[in-house]
Amino acid sequence: MGQSLEENYSQIEEMIIKGNYISALDNLEKTEQISDIVPGQKLKFQILKARVLLDLGEYQKCLVLSINTFQESENLCERVIMIDSKISMIASMRYLGKFKEANNIIKEAETLISETEEAYETDLKLQEARLLFNKGICGRATGNQDITDESLPKSIEIFEILQNKTEYCDSLEAKAMHIDASKDYKLAIETLMKSLKIREEIGNKQRLANTYNRLGVHTANLGLNNEALDYYIKGLEIAKELKIKDLIAIFTMNIGNISAKKGQLAEALSSYLEAQQHSRSIGNKHMSAAIMINVADIYLRRGEIEKALEYNKLALKGFEELNFRQGIAAILRNIGKVYYTKGNLELASTFFNESLSIRQELNEIFSVAEILYNLVTIYLDEGLLEQAKDYHSQLEKIKEQNSLPIINHLYSISEAKLLKSTPRLKNRVMAEELLLSIIEDDILSHTITIDAYLLLCELLLDELKLLGDKTVLNELTEYIENLFDIAKVQQSHSLLAKTYLLKSQLALINFEVDKAKNLLSQAQFIAEEKELHGLAYNISQEYDNLINHKDDWILLAQRNAPLGERLALITMNDALQTMIGNKGIALPEIIKEEPVYLIIQNNSGKTIFTEEFQSLSKLDGALIGGFIAALNSFVQELFHTPGHIERIKHQDYTMVLKIHEGVLVTYIYKGQSYSSIKKLSNFVDSLATTPNVWKALQQSFASPEVLSVEELSSIKKISESCFVL
């Protein structure tokens, strides 16, 4: 005896709960072939198919099927299926970013439920819970948090009564994501872990992947980057196994976010572009716009300001088409950050204020507080103290109305900035106390804690200049070391490079000029390797400044100059002000460099390869000869520090040197170049990964043999590709 339609329906439902979507689709297709199935039963199976398509990320197909099912059920007056169709339409619309249209359908579905319950005395608790769930999510997406606060708890309550574990977890997780608005990440994680336990019992891999994603988001917000990455990788493995493009795009984007947090900008950009391909293939405009925001942030951090502006504007256009107010507010703030980086404080404040208006309209408390803090900073930078005080007062009102610790931190750091802006010593002491209270408290936001450290360092530096007290210098050193530790724990290459820059300034105060040069080289190498172009350029300028003043530092050391004279020569203030608020560094439009000469030697000074990149005058030739003579005089010393990069400057020429496995490569160029170390490293890496060339170099060091014409030609091609093209 064959299986009844009711039994088949229940079996497919169980498959959906377990996440066996392919088997569910196979059964549904077989059911569609049944010739004598009554229209009402056929529509019930179409609703199941829509659920499967939704879970598989086929949102457009789900939407089309749901619309068709609604029209058919309306013709048959199948009221419950009409409601189910509407709910399915809403779910697919919100995944496609069509929140305005979804809200309209929600109103229609509410009317249908009300009329059906009244006229037919039908139990529609499941439909009501599903509608409340979707309504809560759409409310959050369109900034109506009151609707979200009201709808999600009701949906959780009903799903729990119905013992619908799958959708109970869906609602729990939606609530956890809503908690994000108040930045109470720990509570959100507790809620998600509760859901995770149930998900694991059910065994639905696709929904388990969704939970991993949400846990990743919140652990990342707590600064637990490696833990977040583990969740994302687990989720991506499931998404690829199930071939769900939407999930693949989400996890790929979020893995990019972790790379970005660690300062691995090239890896982040690659992840974002891959995620963009997946999101476009499924027509998810909402995600495409979100990814463009992230791409814009990468270009901003690199110092490529115009590209950052271009991608932000593209993202803004996408969110405006979707009428996604939260996204619009986020991008307006980001555009404000771009103009802040460019030094256009007036435009920056304009965009921040536009973002503020939307965040206030949406009643997003924490986002409002963040923007007010940004505006305090901008108006202080502009020297407009009264306007800064006005925004600070607004921030104070939010603090008084909300007991969130993170808002207290924002207020404290804003207060400290205002106090620090005055010359009164008592105000600066109060500012120091406020900043100490932040760094001694639990880290609620690494950005805020880092800003507190930097502001504290700035205060101590001013105090050091005023008093010349070595106790203050010791405190300053301690806080910079703490920043260095945070950078290592967070694996933040950007902060690490900036902290090396600060440590180089401390080395100069102690007359350790060679140590300062080494620290700057490490800082620049990190910045260039991670494609932080603006930062790399800034560090290069610091290095050039040190070389230009090297004789001054030697003279200061010889007479053990007072602390005040040393402090007058360092640039730590500029470095700190650039770092505070994570202010970006704009890359100059044109950076000229003229490659001049390349030489490869062994540890005894034997020259194996040379190349002139341009014709040299007698004077130029003499200078290069002097460079090489000086180089040969300390070759042995250089080989005691393998892997070290050295830079020597004379007049318009700079010589950079790198040692790798017994090979010393020296590159001489004319003018300024922030990327010389990167070019040299690329050249050495290219040599080392060309087996026949590298082997020939090693053999020529150990014997009187010279390189063959073919080998010399290979090295020349590599050098031209690295230094000229």
Kindly state whether residues 564 and 636 are assigned to the same domain.
no
Quick one: pLDDT at residue 1?
39
| Residues in CB range of 635: below 8 A, 6 or more apart | 601, 603, 604, 605, 664
Residue 645: CATH number of its domain: 3.30.450.50
Kindly state whether residues 419 and 496 are assigned to the same domain.
yes
Kindly state whether residues 612 and 681 are assigned to the same domain.
yes
Kindly state whether residues 505 and 636 are assigned to the same domain.
no
Backbone angles phi, psi at 184, to 5 degrees: -90, 70
Specify the DSSP class assigned to residue 614.
S
Quick one: pLDDT at residue 586?
59
For residue 373, tell me if it sits in a domain. Answer: yes
For residue 380, tell me if it sits in a domain. Answer: yes
Kindly state whether residues 553 and 606 are assigned to the same domain.
no
In this structure, what token pair is assigned to residue 686? 């290219």
Quick one: pLDDT at residue 238?
92
Residue with tokens 């172009």: 533
Kindly state whether residues 506 and 635 are assigned to the same domain.
no
- 62 and 50 in contact (C-beta within 8 Å)? yes
Q: How far apart are CA 659 and CA 185, in angstroms?
A: 47
State which of 582, 617, 650 marks the end of a domain.
Answer: 582
* Domain span including residue 373: 364-582
Quick one: pLDDT at residue 181?
44
| Residues in CB range of 436: below 8 A, 6 or more apart | 456
Total length of the chain: 725
**Cβ neighbourhood burial of 15 (10 Å; 0-12, 13-18, 19+):** buried
Q: Is the dihedral of CA 16, 19, 21, 24 positive or negative?
A: negative
Looking at the structure of the chain, the number of domains it has is 3
For residue 186, tell me if it sits in a domain. Answer: no
For residue 235, tell me if it sits in a domain. Answer: no
601: β partners? 607, 664
Quick one: pLDDT at residue 648?
72
Kindly state whether residues 138 and 43 are assigned to the same domain.
yes
- 71 and 99 in contact (C-beta within 8 Å)? no
Kindly state whether residues 411 and 373 are assigned to the same domain.
yes
- 392 and 418 in contact (C-beta within 8 Å)? yes
For residue 139, tell me if it sits in a domain. Answer: yes
For residue 275, tell me if it sits in a domain. Answer: no
State which of 541, 561, 582 marks the end of a domain.
Answer: 582
CA angle 283/71/321 to nearest 5° reads 30
Specify the DSSP class assigned to residue 180.
G
Quick one: pLDDT at residue 418?
95
Quick one: pLDDT at residue 679?
83
For residue 136, tell me if it sits in a domain. Answer: yes
Kindly state whether residues 597 and 578 are assigned to the same domain.
no
Helical H segments across 549-672, by residue range: 550-558, 563-569, 572-579, 618-633, 635-638
Q: How far apart are CA 520 and CA 541, in angstroms?
A: 10
Residue with tokens 């499967």: 52
For residue 263, tell me if it sits in a domain. Answer: no
pTM over 0.95: no
CA dist list (Å): 262 to 119, 255, 257, 581: 59, 11, 9, 17
Q: How far apart are CA 498 and CA 503, in angstroms?
A: 9
State which of 582, 617, 644 marks the end of a domain.
Answer: 582
Kindly state whether residues 413 and 555 are assigned to the same domain.
yes
Question: What angle do helix axes 225-242 and 205-221 make, rounded to 10 degrees?
Answer: 160
10-residue mean pLDDT profile of the chain (725 residues): values are 78 88 89 86 93 86 94 93 95 84 93 88 90 89 78 94 93 81 69 93 90 91 87 94 87 94 86 91 84 91 85 91 84 92 88 93 84 93 92 94 84 94 89 93 81 90 86 92 87 85 91 88 81 78 83 90 87 74 56 80 79 72 62 55 60 78 84 72 87 83 78 89 81
Residue 49: CATH number of its domain: 1.25.40.10
- 335 and 306 in contact (C-beta within 8 Å)? no
- 361 and 397 in contact (C-beta within 8 Å)? no
Q: How far apart are CA 159 and CA 137, in angstroms?
A: 16
Kindly state whether residues 563 and 600 are assigned to the same domain.
no
Kindly state whether residues 514 and 618 are assigned to the same domain.
no
Backbone angles phi, psi at 706, to 5 degrees: -105, 165
Helical H segments across 343-469, by residue range: 345-361, 365-381, 385-401, 405-420, 425-440, 446-467
Residue 404: CATH number of its domain: 1.25.40
| Dihedral (Cα; 204, 207, 209, 212), 10-degree rounding | -120
Q: How far apart are CA 43 and CA 75, in angstroms?
A: 12
Q: How far apart are CA 203 and CA 238, in angstroms?
A: 12
